[in-house]
């Protein structure tokens, strides 16, 4: 866990930060002294997140916007830069799709297109939009992605393709941004408790619930990673303790699988 003043005088924008892992990252960064701005699509969820964060830091702020739209992503970054006076850290979280695990043959063309649009663009648009602000002082970018981008998972062909895209972009952007003293890393997630996806998968009786109950039983430590545990890795990657870590993807999967690229 980061120290109480480790991020003092640093400003962090967490897109998709009004809930789930993103909100946990925001809380941990605020506790460590960062000026935190969170973004999300829902004003109602955003207001709740802002109130929760202001119990930690009175400077915390929520900015509404859908980062699947580049115009929104740019406006969110501009507002965050204006509010904090600088931008040092971007955590690109959120970006939920609408289609759960589905065999590729059973997906409609509209679902395939929609999943790329809803899962990939909100992940990378904020990075592009934030680059001018991050170049002012150098900084750190952390992208959340999925272990399905490293390991072939039946029913997650498109999700895995998006994840693999983020992993490769992490490497390439780390090389491109090194000249600006900007580090780029990512976290590949498995099933994670304390997230909206977890709540959705285990709500009510369903095929998905039965399937993922079996997945949980396979975790070597007897449980899935929590949102707070995944967030702690993101905070580490954003910190000066990871000053020589860039272009890397860390799997936070409780030992469910190993290897990858």
pLDDT for residue 191 is more than 90: no
pLDDT confidence of residue 164: 96
This prediction's pTM:
0.92
Indicate the pairing of strand 61-64 with strand 89-92: unpaired
- Quickly count: other Cβ atoms within 10 Å of residue 230's Cβ: 25
DSSP result, 79-139: HHHHHHS---EEEE-----S--S--GGGS-HHHHHHHHHHHTHHHHHHHHHHHHHHTTT-E
pLDDT for residue 3 is more than 70: no
Cβ–Cβ < 8 Å for 137, 179:
no
Mean per-residue pLDDT for 12-38?
Answer: 96
pLDDT confidence of residue 12: 98
Mean per-residue pLDDT for 45-68?
Answer: 96
Domain coordinates in residue numbering, the chain:
11-252
For 163-181, how does the pLDDT look when each residue is reduced to its tens digit (9 = 90+)? 999 999 999 999 999 999 9
pLDDT for residue 207 is more than 80: no
Pick the CATH number of 11-252 from 3.40.50.2000, 3.40.50.720, 3.40.50.2300, 3.40.449.10: 3.40.50.720
Cβ–Cβ < 8 Å for 144, 119:
no
First-residue to last-residue Cα distance in the chain: 27
CA–CA separation, 31 and 53 (whole Å): 9
CA–CA separation, 208 and 42 (whole Å): 26
Q: What is the DSSP letter of 224?
A: P
For 28-37, how does the pLDDT look when each residue is reduced to its tens digit (9 = 90+)? 999 999 999 9
Partners of 145 in beta bridges: 188
Query: Comparing C-alpha atoms, which of 98, 114, 100, 111 is closest to residue 206?
Result: 100
């Amino acid at each position: 866990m980061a120290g109480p003043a480790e991020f003092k005088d640093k400003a962090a924008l967490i897109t998709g930060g009004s809930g789930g892992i993103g909100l946990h990252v925001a809380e941990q960064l605020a506790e460590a002294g960062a000026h935190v701005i969170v973004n999300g699509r829902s004003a109602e969820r955003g207001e709740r997140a802002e109130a929760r964060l202001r119990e930690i830091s009175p400077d915390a702020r929520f900015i509404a916007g859908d980062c699947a739209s580049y115009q929104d992503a740019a406006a969110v970054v501009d507002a965050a830069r204006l509010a904090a006076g600088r931008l040092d850290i971007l955590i690109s979280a959120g970006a939920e799709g609408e289609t759960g695990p589905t065999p590729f043959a059973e997906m409609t063309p509209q679902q395939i297109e929609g999943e790329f649009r809803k899962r990939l663009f909100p992940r990378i648009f904020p990075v592009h939009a934030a680059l001018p602000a991050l170049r002012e002082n150098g900084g750190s970018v952390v992208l959340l992605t999925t272990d399905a981008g490293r390991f072939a998972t039946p029913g997650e062909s498109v999700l895995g393709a998006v994840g693999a895209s983020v992993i490769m972009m992490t490497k390439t952007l780390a090389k491109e941004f090194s000249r600006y003293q900007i580090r780029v890393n990512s976290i590949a997630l498995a099933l994670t408790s304390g997230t909206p996806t977890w709540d959705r998968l285990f709500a009510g009786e369903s095929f998905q619930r039965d399937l993922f109950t079996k997945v949980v039983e396979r975790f070597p430590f007897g449980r899935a990673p929590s949102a707070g545990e995944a967030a702690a890795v993101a905070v580490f990657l954003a910190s000066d303790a990871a000053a020589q870590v860039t272009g890397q993807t860390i799997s936070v999967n409780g030992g469910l699988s190993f290897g990858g690229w």
